[in-house]
């Protein structure tokens, strides 16, 4: 009876130790491995005034496979058009609009204010 009690304690120690070791060993590779390429979400806030980007980057660099979201705040009614992907967002003055797409094709794709044909910048999709 007492022997069983000792065995039970040893078993408990082994189980607790095993779980501890499993947590340590499973945490270590995760922290040493670099972030895999692709399947990353990238958000770019853009403020447009007088047909120019006044806040935000003009070259938006992403990797192929990324999900890209542009959040656009413009001071006039317009349409933001991304060439190549041929996606666009209707812009209402001083109201944030979003344009989301998956960067499935690599290359450089200009975006513009469609109504006035004003080129604002470009999305660069790295292969």
Closest distance between Cu ion and the C-beta of residue 111, in Å? 8
Which of 43, 119 has the CB closer to Cu ion?
119
Distance CA 110, CA 119 (A): 7
User: Using alpha carbons only, how large is the chain's radius of gyration in Å?
Assistant: 26
Shortest spacing between CB 46 and Cu ion, in angstroms = 16
Our CB check for Cu ion shows the closer of 56 and 84 to be 84
- Using the minimum distance from each CB to Cu ion, give the nearer residue, 62 or 85: 85
**Distance in Å, CB of 19 to Cu ion, minimum:** 58
Residue nearest to Cu ion (CB): 81
Q: Give the residue among 64, 63, 58 at the shortest CA–CA distance from 122.
A: 58
Contact residues: Cu ion, CB under 5 A: 81, 112, 114
Distance CA 88, CA 100 (A): 9
Q: How far apart are CA 100 and CA 103, in angstroms?
A: 10
């Amino acid at each position: 009876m007492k022997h069983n009690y000792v065995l039970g304690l040893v078993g408990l120690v082994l189980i607790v130790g095993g779980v501890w070791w499993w947590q340590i060993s499973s945490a270590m590779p995760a922290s040493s491995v670099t972030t895999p390429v692709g399947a990353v979400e990238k958000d770019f806030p853009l403020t447009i005034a007088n047909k120019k980007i006044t806040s935000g980057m003009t070259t938006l660099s992403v990797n192929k496979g990324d999900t890209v979201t542009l959040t656009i705040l413009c001071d006039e009614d317009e349409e933001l058009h991304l060439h190549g992907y041929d996606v666009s967002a209707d812009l209402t003055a001083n109201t944030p609009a979003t344009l989301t797409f998956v960067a499935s094709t690599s290359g450089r794709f200009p975006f513009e204010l469609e109504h006035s044909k004003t080129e604002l910048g470009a999305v660069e999709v790295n292969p």
